[in-house]
């Protein structure tokens, strides 16, 4: 395919030219890097990346192609991706389309033939930056003006854009390699939970169903009173708070509803954004990390067993050390010693910052889903 030029302007004044594949036009977003060696389709379709451009440190991207089965949501939520070298021709028996076609279909930008090591080191040294990429405008002054006029990622409520608006039952379980399909959920435990969709990944729902739970997905603008009624009546056994994009501190309504559920001692389990919202709802606001944790190779220590688990990460924000006054730390990131897991003292509530459903270890952290089911 013929690659067209694309121009990139970052808020620190860096102006670059590269080649474009995928969506054509102009998009703004926050640039971050991801150190995963594989799984680019799952990463691009993860709603937690809404409003971001992802720099892949793996230099060769595209060789396994794309397919519908590996989608983590219905569409691509990331603004775009940076790759050093694009592989246009996939070589994988499960592939149904190449990466450029996939990005075009989902209106996400692809940028290649660029020094991704330079971009990664810049983000590492000075943090993520807002940026604009355009296949239409080459004038840096115009790009700067457009970027300045655009909202920053921390000012946008992305969960309103990526989550469901109606409740539904999730009916699939984990992937079966023999049948090349997802197994059907069975509800073998006879227990039902609600999963709040802040931008939930499909594989999280699959893993919850794999424990034998019945899972009903509900919108982000849930009512704590309705959930408490359903819990007290015995209709549901607990609540799951999902991952999602953006700054958790702007989700004041959601945090207020979670506070009510904490006071009612409704059993809860949370991942990533949900983990952060639990801390906020307990009165301990999150803070932004220097360059975030994004990748599939982050070592995390389980403080209960002293076992080191290799985890997948995707977060720019973190819970503060002050939360230790009301919770026990169950997991610690060995890269930077930040908190990766908590078990609260005053209620049947626990959470993790990393993504146990992403299978980076490949299965070292999946026990967390079963632990939730066992506690209900």
Catalytic residues: 272, 355, 357
Q: How far is CA 152 from CA 51, 116, 125, 244, in A?
A: 9, 23, 20, 17
Structure tokens at 370: 């079963």
Q: Which helix (H) or strand (E) holds 161?
A: helix 159-162
Contacts of 199 (CB under 8 A, 6+ apart): 47, 48, 50, 73, 77, 158, 159, 162, 163, 242, 243, 244, 245, 273
Do residues 10 and 148 lie in contact, with contact meaning Cβ atoms separated by under 8 Å? no
CA quadruple 216, 222, 224, 225: dihedral sign:
negative
Structure tokens at 50: 């809404």
Residue with tokens 């067993």: 305
Do residues 275 and 342 lie in contact, with contact meaning Cβ atoms separated by under 8 Å? yes
Contacts of 297 (CB under 8 A, 6+ apart): 35, 36, 37, 310, 360
Rounded Cα gap, residues 301 and 304, in angstroms: 9
Rounded Cα gap, residues 291 and 69, in angstroms: 31
Q: How many CB atoms lie within 10 A of CB 35?
A: 16
């Amino acid at each position: 395919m013929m690659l067209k030029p694309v121009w990139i302007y970052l808020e620190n004044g860096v102006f670059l030219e590269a080649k474009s594949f995928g969506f054509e036009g102009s998009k703004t977003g926050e640039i971050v890097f991801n150190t995963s060696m594989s799984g680019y389709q799952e990463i691009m379709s993860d709603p937690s990346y809404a409003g971001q451009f992802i720099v892949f440190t793996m230099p060769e991207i595209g060789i396994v192609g794309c397919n519908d089965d590996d989608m983590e949501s219905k569409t691509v939520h990331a603004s775009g991706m940076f790759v050093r070298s694009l592989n246009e021709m996939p070589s994988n028996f499960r592939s149904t389309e190449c990466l450029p076609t996939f990005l075009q279909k989902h209106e996400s930008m692809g940028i290649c033939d660029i020094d991704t090591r330079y971009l990664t080191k810049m983000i590492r040294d000075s943090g993520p930056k807002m940026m604009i990429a355009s296949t239409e405008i080459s004038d840096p002054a115009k790009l700067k003006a457009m970027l300045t006029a655009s909202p920053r990622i921390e000012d946008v409520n992305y969960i309103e854009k990526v989550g469901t608006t109606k409740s539904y039952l999730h009916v699939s379980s984990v992937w079966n390699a023999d049948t090349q399909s997802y197994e059907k959920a069975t509800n073998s435990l006879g227990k039902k939970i609600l999963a709040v969709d802040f931008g939930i990944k499909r594989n999280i729902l699959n893993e919850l169903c794999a424990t034998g739970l019945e899972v009903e997905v509900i919108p982000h603008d849930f009512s704590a009173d309705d959930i408490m009624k359903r819990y007290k009546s015995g209709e549901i056994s607990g609540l799951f708070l999902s991952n999602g994009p953006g700054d958790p501190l702007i989700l004041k309504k959601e945090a207020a509803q979670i506070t009510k559920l904490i006071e009612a001692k409704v059993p809860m389990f949370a991942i990533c954004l949900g983990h952060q919202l639990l801390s906020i709802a307990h009165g301990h606001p999150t803070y932004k990390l220097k360059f975030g944790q994004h990748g599939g190779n982050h070592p995390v220590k389980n403080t209960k067993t002293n076992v080191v688990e290799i985890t997948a990460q995707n977060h720019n924000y973190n819970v503060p050390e002050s939360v230790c006054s009301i919770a026990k730390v169950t997991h610690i990131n060995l890269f930077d010693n930040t908190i990766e897991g908590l078990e609260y003292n005053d209620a049947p509530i626990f959470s993790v910052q990393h993504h146990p459903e992403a299978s980076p270890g490949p299965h070292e952290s999946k026990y967390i889903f079963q632990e939730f089911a066992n506690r209900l």
